[in-house]
């Protein structure tokens, strides 16, 4: 018996038989008899989803890109606070400590570079020259790069203690 065209369960006139089903996305090897099932491998499933939706994206949220950029410049005590249930002016704080002003500027530069590649520019940036407390405002999230002394003095974690701490190992 010949196979039906894509999307048809059988040739015209054979609608009651339905003994062969050919899916437009799956290859003919995936055609099974009526009532049978075939389990797809993970690569076959990925290929099917890609054919239907386009490539799978692993796009990270911008606040996580900023956190990873800070990590890449050896920022210490990296912390992300989820403020969505606490305040309305921003969603996340990315807080980290720099060992010295030059490192703080390098962290800010790397965050800016990586986010600029994604088309994200800061609304404002403050404190870059002195680098005691560099604040980068991206709207949905704020990046705080503090010296060790400023971090302990201002203690943002205590001020925003009602915010949830985001686990950076599995952030979503």
- The two tokens of residue 95 are 């807080």
CB 24 within 8 A of CB 9: no
CA-to-CA distance for 172 and 165, rounded, in angstroms? 12
How much is the pLDDT for 169? 81
Domains of the chain: 1-57 (no CATH), 62-165 (3.30.460.10)
Integer-rounded Cα Rg, in Å, for the chain is 26
pLDDT in tens, 127-140: 999 999 999 999 99
pLDDT tens digits along 13-46: 544 444 444 444 445 555 555 556 666 676 776 6
């Amino acid at each position: 018996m010949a196979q039906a065209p894509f999307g048809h369960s059988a040739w015209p006139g054979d609608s009651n038989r339905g003994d062969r089903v050919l899916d437009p996305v799956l290859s003919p090897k995936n055609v099974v008899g009526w009532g049978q099932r075939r389990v797809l491998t993970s690569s076959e499933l990925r290929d099917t989803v890609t054919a239907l939706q386009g490539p799978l994206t692993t796009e990270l949220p911008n606040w996580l890109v900023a956190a990873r950029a800070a990590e890449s410049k050896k920022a210490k005590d990296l912390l992300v606070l989820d403020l969505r249930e606490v305040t309305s002016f921003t969603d996340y704080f990315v807080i980290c400590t720099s060992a010295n002003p030059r490192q703080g500027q390098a962290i800010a530069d790397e965050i800016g570079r990586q986010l600029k590649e994604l088309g994200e520019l800061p609304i404002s940036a403050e404190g870059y020259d002195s680098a005691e407390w560099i604040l980068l405002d991206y709207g949905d999230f704020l990046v705080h790069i503090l010296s060790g002394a400023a971090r302990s003095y201002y203690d943002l974690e205590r001020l925003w203690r009602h915010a949830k701490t985001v686990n950076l190992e599995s952030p979503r």
